[in-house]
Structure 1
Amino acid sequence: MDHKNKALWSGRFAESPAEIMQKYSQSLDVDWQLYKEDLQGSKAHGKMLHRIGILSEEELQQILKALEEIEEEVNQGILQPKISLEDVHMNLEARLIEKLGPLGAKIHTGRSRNDQVATDYRLYMKKAINDIKEKVLLFLTTLLERAEKDIDVVVPGFTHLQHAQPISLGHYWMAYFWKFTRDLKRFQAAYETTNVNPLGAGALAGSTLPLDREFTRKELDFEVNSQNSLDTVSDRDYLLEFLFAASTFVLHTSGLSEDLILWSTSEFDFIEPPDAFCTGSSMMPNKKNPDALELTRGKTSGVLSSLYDLMINIKGLPLTYNRDLQEDKRPVFHTIYTVNMILDVLTPLIAGIAPKEESIAPHLNKGFLLATDVAEYLVAKNVPFRETHEIVGNLVQYCIKHHKTFEDLSLEEWQNYCPAFEKDVYDILSPQLAVDRRKTFGGTARSEVKRQIQEGKTIIEVFNA
């Protein structure tokens, strides 16, 4: 057996694994990026071993120095991992033993790869989630800025993709502000679930050594220690929570992208997306395609699949560790990358959108957007709503048949359908005024949009505090 490259667990075996088995079982193409967290965990574990008397001060300092040197070797590309050593943990430990001999082998005292990978992964995820939260906060700030900028722009609101009622464009942006605020809270909840120290759980049952888990908890800046070693080794709930938060996030970015794709078509022509996030056609020189938005919509499927991937992976796994769990990183790392890319693209894209008010204006005269306002006008005249609904529905039919809008109707025509109509009915036939009449809490009135914006700013201040 090649003792230089043999696995650190090889004592039980008479021969090395087959070459194809080494390729099949390695995880270095994924977990090598955990090297900083693995070294961080080893430093904390080494300090704890010194604290309980297993390492002397001199031994600890040698180990800490060697771990620093190994990190620099990885940073500079000098230390390249070996597939024969399977994973990031074995490669780094083997290098430590190369540098320090038997002393390097002491670092694994009281530790298993099972709690080691859990520690590395949680440390990595804490940073990854915090990075995403910072980008979400920047995205939310951009939505607030858009809402303030576009508060006076009136656009049709839609249900079933049919013209429904006029709304402030600022109100539209705030709708997504609240959706993404909930996503931010979900990412925060995932962070809290992640912020648990697993080190000391061992392979599955803890250790006979007097390991000081509270020391490593503080050293690694975890909020609490895990409560049960069996649960600790098998737990992937924190990853599911992150993937669920990411899934709802991309569902929201997909819906937003779909709206903006439609709004940028010549049929709608509500907005002009920034050139920097569009592409042209290789054949048709007239084309301006909203590729960034389409890609955002398309990347949703990969993130949703990542959630299903991990759920299916852990379905029915017996306690505690099973090698299936090695496959928990690919979907998560893919999701982290995708969510970061989406935020890096959408934030400047949204900031650069230009509303086209002249093109929007004709749409405000389509679909009888003020039909509900007319019905509620009659309600104010003491006509029961169900009657007003039918009256206005008949008026709409009349207008369609005679190619008229509400503004085109004479007072006589109004009164033919209901004598309660008076001259003041013309005063309500303004989309801009209709927006401001909707002053119910959370409505589209500009006063309400301003309130929402102020609350949004407070939320961001709290998260940034």
Structure 2
Amino acid sequence: MWKGRFTEETHETVRRFTQSLDVDWRLAAADIRGSVAHVRMLAHIGLLTPEEARTLEEHLFAIGRDIDAGILVPKESLEDVHMNIEAALIERCGSLGAKLHAGRSRNDQVATTMRLFLREALLDVWGRLEVLLETLQQKAGEHRDVVVPGYTHLQQAQPISMGQYWMAYFWAFLRDAERLLAAYHSCDACPLGAGALAGSTLPLDREFTARDLGFSRITENSMDSVAQRDYLLDVHYFFVSFGLHASRLAEDLIIYSSTEFGWIELPDAFCTGSSIMPQKKNPDVLELLRGKAGQFVGHMTDLMVSVKGLPLTYNRDLQEDKRGLWASFEVYFQILSVLPDLLARVGVSAEKARRGFSDGFIFATDVAEYLVGRGIPFREAHEKVGRLVRWCVEEKRALTGLSSDEWRRLLPEAEADLPGLLVPETSVERRKTLGGTSPEQVRWQQAQGMDALNGLRETFRGKKEILSGT
């Protein structure tokens, strides 16, 4: 490839060290598609005859079929997928094959190939995320009327609908879907024609190539086109955000299924036992999920550290930009191979959840707001209820177990209707603010969520149709 400049052959150890076939051979189909578009553009501007373009295109697709069939095996001496395909083309077409690279550098070729590959891959990512969102919607409907403790600081705070809990994660993962769409948009710009860094003296038609490949636009600056890896960072950030949410969900379910909490029931088929303790039911799947999620953060950090000090434009460091990304794709699909099915079979014991309300302190905010409704300033009401709770703690009494006389003595503002409000279902039902935890509001959230989910479905369906037409 560069023998005209050098007096020595590349050392064998250097060939091994600089090759990238172990990470980029999977890009073969995308690279061939980008090369076909480049051939069509060269014919469009008159640098290839129609017959030459047809011959090159036919041989490129034939090479792709041979790769799929395992007939064409890459050579490490040719460094990467791009040079292996070009070498195969020249071997089949002679000097005509050598015309393919006119007006193109491996710099803009690699960037184009990656974007082509990622557009397809991100649609597969959406397909798995869509299933998870559907599962959370189903769980919200299933447990809309089930009351469980809600927590802040891992301390009981207020009663909530379990449907509200599932919808909390629905909205979190829905935002991840929006981040995925943003990552797709970031990839959906064509850098082909940027050359090594400065464009070309040849009359390349970049917009023709972008249209042929189904890109929504071209990249705006030739230097930025080959140097930036923002689009990869955007994909990484989607994975990181998804991983953070998945890990928090796993942590919740691990805690709530423990003996000390006990109101979440994990399916046996998604748990394991102990090699020595017969009684154990370990949430190993959730623990592994929690552990794997951290890898997303590491892979994104890896790329950020790589690009933070690179001068413009291309540097060979960027060859390593794919390793962590492929690993993140693998971890993502591993997680979503088990998480939706696990969630679908999670049970909730309303009886065990109710045991957590035994001291009644979870209704303290209800009492304070009851007083506010009777004209008492909130801070004054807060103090009054705080003293009441302290008395109950000292006397080892439940807030919900006070007699009428005790209510009158300890909280004179309380009337006969107050104790009847301190019931889990009643407490939850009364929280009807938009987005609140009442079953009515959970139902509203589900409707809003399905509208948003259907909108994303339509958007991603449109992306898929565009790609299928290219």
Task: Identify the residue that residue 129 of structure 2 maps to in structure 1.
Answer: 136
Provide the secondary structure at the position in 2 that maps to 1:10. coil
Task: Identify the residue that residue 3 of structure 1 maps to in structure 2.
Answer: none
Per-residue displacement from partner, 1:27-85 (whole Å, max 9, x unpaired)?
11001110010011111111111112222222222212211221111111121111111
Letter in 2 for 1:318: P
Task: Identify the residue that residue 224 of structure 1 maps to in structure 2.
Answer: 217
Provide the secondary structure at the position in 2 that maps to 1:72. helix
CA contact (8 A) 1:436 1:444 kept: yes
Matches within 5 A, 1:324-363: 324-363=317-356
Task: Identify the residue that residue 315 of structure 1 maps to in structure 2.
Answer: 308
Provide the secondary structure at the position in 1 that maps to 2:35. helix
Task: Identify the residue that residue 5 of structure 1 maps to in structure 2.
Answer: none
Q: Provide the C-alpha distance between the structure 1 equivalents of 2:315 and 2:360, rounded to a whole number of angstroms.
A: 60
Task: Identify the residue that residue 227 of structure 2 maps to in structure 1.
Answer: 234
Q: Provide the C-alpha distance between the structure 1 equivalents of 2:92 and 2:268, rounded to a whole number of angstroms.
A: 54
CA contact (8 A) 2:359 2:399 kept: no
Q: Provide the C-alpha distance between the structure 2 equivalents of 1:276 and 1:45, rounded to a whole number of angstroms.
A: 52
Letter in 2 for 1:421: A
2:368 corresponds to 1:410: no
Provide the secondary structure at the position in 2 that maps to 1:364. coil
User: By how many angstroms is 1:355 displaced?
Assistant: 1.1
Q: Provide the C-alpha distance between the structure 1 equivalents of 2:199 and 2:303, rounded to a whole number of angstroms.
A: 26
2:274 corresponds to 1:274: no
Task: Identify the residue that residue 204 of structure 1 maps to in structure 2.
Answer: 197
Matches within 5 A, 1:33-432: 33-366=26-359, 368-432=361-425
Q: Provide the C-alpha distance between the structure 1 equivalents of 2:45 and 2:457, rounded to a whole number of angstroms.
A: 39
- TM-score, normalised via structure 2 length: 0.95
Per-residue displacement from partner, 1:234-282 (whole Å, max 9, x unpaired)?
0111111111122111111111110001111111111222223222222
Q: Provide the C-alpha distance between the structure 2 equivalents of 1:381 and 1:49, rounded to a whole number of angstroms.
A: 80
Provide the secondary structure at the position in 2 that maps to 1:12. coil
User: By how many angstroms is 1:385 displaced?
Assistant: 2.0
Per-residue displacement from partner, 1:124-162 (whole Å, max 9, x unpaired)?
111122221222222111111110110011000001111
CA contact (8 A) 1:399 1:405 kept: yes
Q: Provide the C-alpha distance between the structure 2 equivalents of 1:10 and 1:223, rounded to a whole number of angstroms.
A: 38
CA contact (8 A) 2:250 2:289 kept: yes
Moved over 3 A (4+): none
User: By how many angstroms is 1:296 displaced?
Assistant: 1.4
User: By how many angstroms is 1:286 displaced?
Assistant: 2.3
Which of 425, 430, 444 is the aligned partner of 2:437? 444
Provide the secondary structure at the position in 1 that maps to 2:211. helix
Matches within 5 A, 1:22-33: 22-33=15-26
Q: Provide the C-alpha distance between the structure 1 equivalents of 2:148 and 2:383, rounded to a whole number of angstroms.
A: 26
User: By how many angstroms is 1:198 displaced?
Assistant: 0.5
Provide the secondary structure at the position in 2 that maps to 1:164. strand
Provide the secondary structure at the position in 1 that maps to 2:125. helix
CA contact (8 A) 1:179 1:252 kept: yes
Provide the secondary structure at the position in 1 that maps to 2:151. strand
| Pair 10,431 (structure 1): closer, same or farther in 2 beyond 3 Å | same
CA contact (8 A) 1:168 1:446 kept: yes
| Pair 55,366 (structure 1): closer, same or farther in 2 beyond 3 Å | farther
User: By how many angstroms is 1:366 displaced?
Assistant: 4.2
Q: Provide the C-alpha distance between the structure 1 equivalents of 2:168 and 2:202, rounded to a whole number of angstroms.
A: 55
| Pair 316,367 (structure 1): closer, same or farther in 2 beyond 3 Å | farther
State which drifts further: 413-422 or 160-169: 413-422
Percent identical: 51
How large is the Cα RMSD of the aligned pairs? 1.3
CA contact (8 A) 1:164 1:367 kept: no
User: By how many angstroms is 1:9 displaced?
Assistant: 2.5
Q: Provide the C-alpha distance between the structure 2 equivalents of 1:235 and 1:106, rounded to a whole number of angstroms.
A: 28
User: By how many angstroms is 1:422 displaced?
Assistant: 2.0
State which drifts further: 227-236 or 381-390: 381-390
State which drifts further: 358-367 or 427-436: 358-367
CA contact (8 A) 1:163 1:367 kept: no
CA contact (8 A) 1:399 1:406 kept: yes
Q: Provide the C-alpha distance between the structure 1 equivalents of 2:65 and 2:347, rounded to a whole number of angstroms.
A: 48
Task: Identify the residue that residue 468 of structure 2 maps to in structure 1.
Answer: none
User: By how many angstroms is 1:327 displaced?
Assistant: 0.9
Provide the secondary structure at the position in 2 that maps to 1:204. coil
Per-residue displacement from partner, 1:153-182 (whole Å, max 9, x unpaired)?
100000111111000000001111111111
Letter in 1 for 2:160: I
Task: Identify the residue that residue 465 of structure 2 maps to in structure 1.
Answer: none
